[in-house]
Structure 1
Amino acid sequence: MLRNDTTSARFRLALAALLFATLPFAAHAQTPVWPPKLVRIIVPFGAGASPDIVGRVLADSLQTRHPGTNFVVENKPGASGNIGTDAIAKSTPDGSTIGISLGGPLAINTLLFARLPYNPDTDIAPITLLTQLPSVLAVPTSLGVNTVAEFLAKAKADPKGLGYGSIGVGTLSQLCMEAIGQKAGANMVHIPYPSSPAATTALIRGDVQVACLPAIGVTPQLATGAVKILAVTTAKRSPFLPDVPTLTESGIDVQSDAWNALVGPGGLSKDVVATINAEVTQTLAEPAVIEKLKLQLITPSPTTPDQLRKRMADEKALWAEVIKAAKIRID
């Protein structure tokens, strides 16, 4: 009997040792394997737009760190970013497809379209905020105003309403101008353009009297003397335009932050999300990446997935009343 007990005890010890020895391998097997051999980065906007620029900078950095993987940027523009964002939402949730989107397709468009082909709350997995970039309130020099207060006085005095340019119906450039008009009690006429360069050209020509546009589209024109920047739309002064006041400083309580975010399909596991988040956060801290983005007046701003989810909800809450008051609909 004693011999059997001893044999049994030895067997249990041997089994325990075997299980202990395999634990590191089991833990290793559970670690998400990312990136796979091919990673598609979908951008719901055209080449040259800020999400595309950020996507290509990101892809280049990840490619350098992971030479065994091909990182491919795919542009899928259309429907205010909905087409590309829908492609992200409907992709296989294994980390092989991620994408760059922004406040429109991830939040604001739920207020503008009767129905979307995806639900940002359930079909999209937030990974991290990527970058932020300032927009500016700009006027043609020929308008003869030098401050926001002077512009608002002129706008309120015009019974027909000054014309403002934007980069499309429902875009941040329209919402910002509508919010300014609503806060100031000034009527303005919306004139949409297909792109930021087109809207900037209209501003230079005096075809419109004001526009809220990405700073990078306006700043190159300052040297010509044809346009003037009155304010930045961010909560704080931009490090790229430190001498330009914010709208809030100028007496009009409107804030509008343009941002890009990295997202995946809704079924993406938390482990894979965490792995990609860590990789991208490392990328955004690289000096070379920071310098490339700086040339476009873009600031890296990585966050946790939960912080990005909150940012999406905050964006929708911020513009809901503006959209309702202006009766803006796309479909």
Structure 2
Amino acid sequence: MMGRLMTSSTRFLGRALGGIGLLVLATGPVAAASDLYKGRTVTYIVTTAAGGGYDGYGRLTARFMEKHLPGSTFVVVNRPGAGHILGTNLLYAAKPDGLTIGSFNAGIIYSQILKVKSARYDLSKMSWIGKAAAESRTIVVDVRSPYKNFLDFQKAKEPVPMAISGIGSSAYMELNLLSKVFGTNFKLLPGYSGNDNEMAMMRGEVIGKMGSTGGQGAFVRSGRGRFVLRVGGDWPKEFGPVMRGEDIAKTPLQKSVITLIASQADMFRVTAGPPEIRKDRLDALRTAYGAAFMDPELLAEAKKLKWNITPLVGDVVGKAITAALDQPPEIIAMLKEVQSAKPSDIKVGGSLTQVLRGGRQIVFKDPGGKELKTSVSGSRTRIEIAGKESKRGALKAGMACNVTFKGNGTEASLIACK
């Protein structure tokens, strides 16, 4: 027998989600580790760029699942894009042979609720392996900013710039929802993946960001960041008292929004595969996952990194995610309004470092030295060189340009070069 897996001995979290309780499994006996994966390679997709909490947990999960699947080899592949949608689409479309699994932000339920065309997955049909943590959803700000708690945002006279990975990401949806029900004025700037958002705070480009405790804890410990809000999940005592969304929610709509965000905190750092993975392989993956998250070496490593480990294994994760998909009409209407809102353009000056594919994509550095990318349309992007309208083929590395776009990785509406 190899390790011990979690069984149906359970306790309920105090928080309800969609009318059902979330189960935290206690330990119990497990089946012997399977040799089904002997000599096989498993691709583990992480739907963010390298660096940051998702990548870290994904690599930790893959490494210890490999240890507990005899003879297997796990390869981690980063597939960021479209607020976790790109990587999740790839995962969902993979062959159900148990050789492609991965991790994504559970916040992609928003895209499914809204029936976003680019979201080509159904979370209720995925082969759920487990979840690793229950971490509070948090807002962290640059420690130099004047904001001491979330309610201070209501007093801001100018829009507060906040970093997000992409339009439709969980941070994008949650910050917009919070703005609507609490009357804050956030200006969301996309294109900050991995640790880019922390660098952006240090450069003064943005005030803050929203994410998980684990993903933001190191920045706070460094003395550069400050937590101003937490919602759901487990809260590390080391960070002291921080304003809770559950405490400031007074109206029914505020409470509904906070409950929805809390559901993402409780089902955190998930691992899943495409639909209909055959039972023997799915059982082997779940057994390895459970054994991995009871491995003393993993637990010691997570403790050293100050990462939350509160695992669940199997269908209970899928049931909780499916329950979160069932939202009342008023929340769905609000999500639709948020999704249909167009982000504002930003203008960034910098020097072109690369012109790719005949001008269809450019790479440039902003004044702070950050490398940014934008796509260039032959019909929708206006090109000006020395005050005269031009074509994208005329763009050259070394040109000093002002780029108007919606954030890193988005399409430019105007490129004006000297």
The aligned counterpart of 2:37 is 35
Q: CA deviation at 1:296?
A: 4.4
Which of 307, 317, 331 aligns to 2:316? It is 307
Would you tell me which structure has more strand in proportion to its own residues?
2
329 and 292 in structure 1: CA distance in 2 versus 1, 3 angstrom threshold: farther
CA contact (8 A) 2:159 2:187 kept: yes
The aligned counterpart of 1:109 is 111
- Tell me if 1:281 matches 2:290: yes
320 and 67 in structure 1: CA distance in 2 versus 1, 3 angstrom threshold: same
Task: Map 1:1-331 to 2 at 5 A.
Answer: 34-43=36-45, 44-105=47-108, 107-110=109-112, 111=114, 113-122=116-125, 124-149=126-151, 151-155=152-156, 158=157, 160-222=158-220, 225-239=223-237, 241-251=239-249, 253=255, 254=258, 255-256=261-262, 257-258=264-265, 259-317=268-326, 320-328=332-340
CA RMSD of aligned residues (A): 3.2
CA contact (8 A) 2:135 2:233 kept: no
Aligned mates of 1:88, 1:140 — CA distance in 2: 35
223 and 102 in structure 1: CA distance in 2 versus 1, 3 angstrom threshold: closer
TM-score (norm 2): 0.60
CA contact (8 A) 1:40 1:72 kept: yes
268 and 48 in structure 1: CA distance in 2 versus 1, 3 angstrom threshold: same
SS across alignment from 1:92: coil
SS across alignment from 1:168: coil
- Identity in percent: 18
Would you tell me which structure has more helix in proportion to its own residues?
1
175 and 286 in structure 1: CA distance in 2 versus 1, 3 angstrom threshold: same
Per-residue CA deviations over 1:133-177 (Å, capped at 9, x if unaligned) read: 34422233444232333x14413xx2x533333232222222222
CA contact (8 A) 1:283 1:289 kept: yes
SS across alignment from 1:57: helix
Q: Which runs of no fewer than 5 residues in structure 1 stay unpaired? A: 1-30
Q: Which runs of no fewer than 5 residues in structure 2 stay unpaired? A: 1-32, 343-409, 411-418
Q: CA deviation at 1:283?
A: 0.9
Aligned length: 295
Aligned mates of 2:182, 2:124 — CA distance in 1: 33
Aligned mates of 1:116, 1:169 — CA distance in 2: 13
Q: Rg larger in 1 or in 2?
A: 1
Between 1 and 2, higher relative CO (CA 8 Å, sep ≥ 6) is seen in 1
Per-residue CA deviations over 1:287-329 (Å, capped at 9, x if unaligned) read: 2212323444432333243221123224444674542232347
Instruction: Write the letter of the residue equivalent to 1:310.
Output: K
Instruction: Write the letter of the residue equivalent to 1:181.
Output: S
Aligned mates of 1:188, 1:268 — CA distance in 2: 42
271 and 329 in structure 1: CA distance in 2 versus 1, 3 angstrom threshold: farther
201 and 315 in structure 1: CA distance in 2 versus 1, 3 angstrom threshold: farther
CA contact (8 A) 1:34 1:95 kept: no
TM-score (norm 1): 0.74
